[in-house]
């Protein structure tokens, strides 16, 4: 039939040409019209046999793709006409193979056709299944229209609407669409996905000092780094400005997510070369996980955004996981900001001084000035709470200048050999006129410049380094000493040490804590930092030393000075003067013989599960490997229990010591850092499982812990006595 169809077309054309006026006034033959339609380029025609192989393709169609009959006739239609890729919109139509198998009509089916020239054309097919008089299927007959130009334009428009032009990453619209589709599908399949929100620290400074083209180039380089780190694990997108998002399907291990977030922070914080100039920025990351932190797009993005805000509030350059407590914390932060302004106006912020001691002679060489705030309603408020609040606006400038003036004045009353160290925030440091503020404080107090140390964190290197260079040069000319605080934890300023001569490097306490534990690599890091400092002619200070074994190690590794509770907590100016009045400049070490795993005082209500009973207890403190609880009596040592920390965090534990009303627990699996100084479980029990089981016990799964399902009908008699709970005042 197809061959006859083609022969009929040729004969009709010849007949029409030869017939001349003989056909005038007579209706043209249908096949003649068909041929004329094709020659005019109005349509193209195709046909298949009953097996789905291409049996006919009109001349116009062959010319369009540059092939001949022999190359195509007899091939399966699905080999000649390909379904278009999903990103081009094919998700809105059934596949060609599906429709052919179902013998459905083909209506406006868009397909890709490979040409002999190695490129691709796009056709829109229409077709119908052909049945003979007996109802037997004979194949398809159809037409095609070349829509390549229109399709390429529409594809470009669609791509531009979903891709960020500057970086080539997915834009906000595409990310929201993908996240919504993923969450909807994952609810059905009970899968999880994580969402990271991040923005850049000090990006505005780059834009302001180096120009918008430099800012654009920086964003491109950030996009490349993020894409490289995330790889095939997820999708990176740019929401706009300096905000990025990472979508990570099938990820709920918070240990793994924390490690990934930390790599992102470290990579983004490495120096950039922009138009021949070096620049450094930082980033903070907020993490939320579905279904634990939200089931809808708005819920999950809101949770991740709140976690990002918390990470920036902490001190920036870190990551934070969402918890329900963050909502309360956000409200508290706003209230704290108002009260802090009042406290500054009333002069309620005071200074305390912590000694930096020579570990060989036990003599104090310097005091670090530390801010303290005693609120009339809440009592002592930690600097870790109010300093980030102050840094979010210009309040930190006022506080910093006040602390500088007071510290210089206080230090003048000390022996001439004792220096004072004052912390400087990055916002304060890069502010125009900072050198004048330092000079004014020295002049007003009469303190020699050489007795003042300015402690600067690596965050000051974020931004335009030429501006930072100029500030450093001005301060060195003034004669003050410069100390690099929290070395190794910030924005990787190691190369900066070559041309900015610091007088002192402070080894961050994160390298000191736990340095005596077996297998810990921190001793090697401490040794390397000390060797580097000595080679550059700088002093070293080991921060946060609390135990005698830690003191012994940092002393053996060559640290010049030691700071921490092992020698003294921060003391008032009156206590400092009293000690010097007695002729005593010595601080002798006193502390536990060995380092203990870091513990967090918690004092919050949690749950304890034993067999088929749920008890309410007070969590007194928490470490990575254990906890202490109160609220139960009669719990023998060796009892297997499950600690419920809330939000699906179930920790298989064993009672390792007990008193009349408190118990010490050892965890089967260690907790992981939450990025904000707290601890959490790596995994959480899915709310899908909780809903299905009705209780947390059944959600532990086979082999995790031998507990039966919790049902009122088969409960046993409680083994422990529930005490009345009371929170400490």
Task: Quote the pLDDT of residue 569.
Answer: 94
Structural contact between residues 370 and 378, judged by C-beta atoms closer than 8 angstroms: no
Taking residues 286-311, what's their average pLDDT? 90
Report in angstroms the alpha-carbon separations of 414 from 72, 407, 409, 489.
96, 11, 10, 32
Taking residues 177-199, what's their average pLDDT? 88
Which residues, at least 6 apart from 175, have a Cβ–Cβ distance to it below 8 Å? 235, 237, 239, 245, 247
Task: Quote the pLDDT of residue 688.
Answer: 53
Question: What tens digit of pLDDT does each residue of 594-631 get?
Answer: 876 555 555 688 888 888 788 889 888 888 899 999 98
* Percent above pLDDT 70 for the chain: 82
88 pLDDT higher than 90: no
Task: Quote the pLDDT of residue 281.
Answer: 87
Task: Quote the pLDDT of residue 315.
Answer: 65
Average confidence score pLDDT of the chain: 82
Task: Quote the pLDDT of residue 246.
Answer: 96
Which residues, at least 6 apart from 314, have a Cβ–Cβ distance to it below 8 Å? 320, 384, 388, 676, 677
Confidence of residue 500 (pLDDT cuts 50, 70, 90): low
How many other β-carbons are positioned within 10 Å of the β-carbon of residue 474?
14
Range in 146-160, 263-277, 546-560 the model is least confident about: 146-160
Report in angstroms the alpha-carbon separations of 633 from 527, 619, 620, 707, 715.
48, 15, 16, 21, 20
Q: Return the residue matching tokens 């036990």.
A: 362
Task: Quote the pLDDT of residue 126.
Answer: 93
Task: Quote the pLDDT of residue 15.
Answer: 43
Question: What tens digit of pLDDT does each residue of 506-530 get?
Answer: 988 878 877 777 767 888 888 988 9
d(CA 468, CA 429): 9
Confidence of residue 22 (pLDDT cuts 50, 70, 90): very low
Averaging pLDDT over each range in 186-200, 308-322, 443-457, which range is the top one? 443-457
Question: What tens digit of pLDDT does each residue of 225-242 get?
Answer: 999 999 989 999 999 889
Structural contact between residues 203 and 218, judged by C-beta atoms closer than 8 angstroms: yes
Range in 245-254, 418-427, 509-518, 573-582 the model is least confident about: 509-518
Give the chain's domains with CATH numbers: 43-156 (3.30.450.20), 164-323 (3.30.70.270), 351-581 (3.20.20.450), 599-722 (2.40.10)
Range in 28-32, 218-222, 423-427 the model is least confident about: 28-32
Q: Return the residue matching tokens 């990575």.
A: 624
Nearest residue to 166 via CA among 211, 215, 232, 204: 215
Angle formed at CA 105 by CA 101 and CA 111, multiple of 5 degrees:
80
Structural contact between residues 320 and 286, judged by C-beta atoms closer than 8 angstroms: yes
Characterise 500 by phi-psi region: left (phi > 0), alpha (psi -120 to 50), beta (else): beta
Nearest residue to 360 via CA among 209, 229, 551: 551
Task: Quote the pLDDT of residue 431.
Answer: 83
Range in 284-288, 411-415, 466-470, 679-683 the model is least confident about: 466-470
d(CA 426, CA 316): 11
Task: Quote the pLDDT of residue 285.
Answer: 95
Task: Quote the pLDDT of residue 639.
Answer: 93
Task: Quote the pLDDT of residue 672.
Answer: 84
Range in 153-162, 288-297, 348-357 the model is least confident about: 153-162
The pTM of this model reads 0.56
Structural contact between residues 683 and 252, judged by C-beta atoms closer than 8 angstroms: yes
């Amino acid at each position: 039939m197809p061959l006859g169809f083609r022969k009929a077309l040729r004969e009709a054309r010849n007949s029409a040409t030869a017939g001349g006026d003989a056909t005038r006034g007579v209706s043209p033959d249908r096949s003649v019209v068909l041929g004329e339609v094709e020659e005019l380029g109005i349509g193209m025609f195709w046909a298949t046999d009953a097996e789905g192989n291409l049996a006919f393709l009109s001349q116009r169609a062959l010319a369009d793709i540059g092939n001949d009959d022999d190359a195509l006739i007899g091939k399966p239609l699905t080999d000649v006409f390909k379904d278009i890729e999903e990103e081009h919109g094919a998700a809105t139509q059934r596949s060609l193979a599906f429709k052919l198998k179902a013998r459905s009509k083909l209506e406006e089916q868009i397909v890709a056709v490979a040409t002999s020239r190695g490129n691709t054309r796009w056709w829109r097919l229409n077709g119908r299944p052909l049945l003979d008089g007996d109802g037997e299927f004979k194949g398809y007959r159809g037409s095609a229209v070349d829509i390549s130009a229109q399709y390429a334009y529409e594809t470009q428009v669609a791509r531009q609407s979903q891709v960020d032009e500057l970086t080539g990453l997915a834009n906000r619209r595409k990310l929201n669409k993908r996240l919504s589709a993923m969450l909807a599908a994952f609810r059905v399949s009970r899968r999880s996905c994580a969402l990271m929100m991040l923005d850049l620290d000090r990006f505005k400074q780059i834009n302001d000092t180096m120009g918008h083209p430099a800012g654009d180039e920086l964003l491109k380089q950030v996009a490349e780094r993020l894409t490289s780190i995330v790889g095939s694990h997820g999708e990176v997108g740019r929401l706009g400005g300096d905000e990025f998002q990472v979508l990570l399907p099938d990820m709920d291990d918070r240990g793994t997510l924390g490690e990934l977030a930390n790599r992102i922070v470290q990579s983004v914080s490495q120096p950039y070369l922009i138009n021949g100039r070096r620049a450094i920025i930082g980033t903070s990351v907020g993490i939320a996980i579905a279904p634990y932190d939200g089931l809808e797009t708005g819920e999950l993005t809101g949770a991740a955004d709140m976690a990002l805000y918390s990470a920036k509030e902490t001190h920036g350059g870190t990551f934070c996981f969402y918890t329900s407590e963050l909502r309360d914390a956000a409200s508290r932060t706003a209230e704290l900001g108002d009260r802090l302004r009042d406290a500054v106006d009333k002069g309620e912020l005071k200074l305390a001084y912590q000694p930096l001691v020579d570990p060989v002679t036990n003599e104090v060489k310097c005091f670090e000035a530390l801010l303290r705030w005693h609120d009339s309603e809440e009592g002592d408020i930690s600097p870790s709470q109010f300093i980030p609040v102050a840094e979010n606006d210009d309040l930190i400038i006022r506080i910093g200048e006040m602390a500088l003036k007071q510290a210089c004045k206080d230090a003048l009353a000390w022996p001439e050999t004792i220096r004072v160290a004052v912390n400087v925030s990055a916002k304060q440091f890069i502010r125009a006129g900072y050198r004048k503020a330092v000079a004014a404080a020295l002049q007003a107090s009469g303190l020699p410049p050489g007795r003042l140390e300015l402690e600067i964190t690596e965050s000051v290197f974020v931004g335009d380094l030429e501006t930072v260079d100029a500030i450093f040069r001005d301060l060195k000319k003034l004669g003050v000493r410069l100390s690099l605080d929290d070395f190794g934890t910030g924005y990787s300023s190691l190369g900066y040490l070559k041309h900015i001569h610091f007088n002192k490097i402070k080894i961050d306490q994160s390298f000191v804590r736990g340095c005596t534990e077996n297998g810990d690599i921190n001793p090697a890091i401490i040794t390397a930092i000390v060797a580097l400092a000595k080679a550059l002619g700088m002093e070293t200070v080991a921060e946060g030393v609390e135990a005698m074994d830690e003191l012994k190690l940092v002393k053996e590794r060559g640290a010049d000075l030691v700071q921490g509770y092992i020698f003294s907590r921060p003391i008032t100016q009156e206590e400092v003067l009293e000690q010097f009045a007695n002729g005593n400049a010595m601080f002798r070490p006193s502390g536990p013989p060995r380092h203990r795993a870091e513990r967090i005082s918690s004092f919050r209500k949690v749950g304890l599960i034993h067999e088929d009973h749920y008890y309410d207890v007070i969590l007194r403190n928490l470490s990575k490997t254990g906890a202490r609880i109160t609220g139960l009596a009669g719990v023998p040592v060796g009892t297997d229990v499950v600690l419920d920390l809330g939000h699906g965090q179930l920790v298989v534990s064993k009672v390792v010591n007990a008193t009349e009303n408190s118990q010490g627990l050892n965890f089967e699996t260690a907790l992981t850092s939450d990025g904000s100084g707290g601890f959490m479980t790596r995994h959480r029990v899915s709310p899908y499982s909780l809903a299905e089981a009705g209780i947390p016990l059944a959600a532990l799964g086979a082999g995790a812990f031998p507990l039966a399902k919790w049902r009122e009908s088969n409960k046993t008699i409680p083994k422990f006595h529930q005490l009345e709970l009371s929170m400490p005042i």
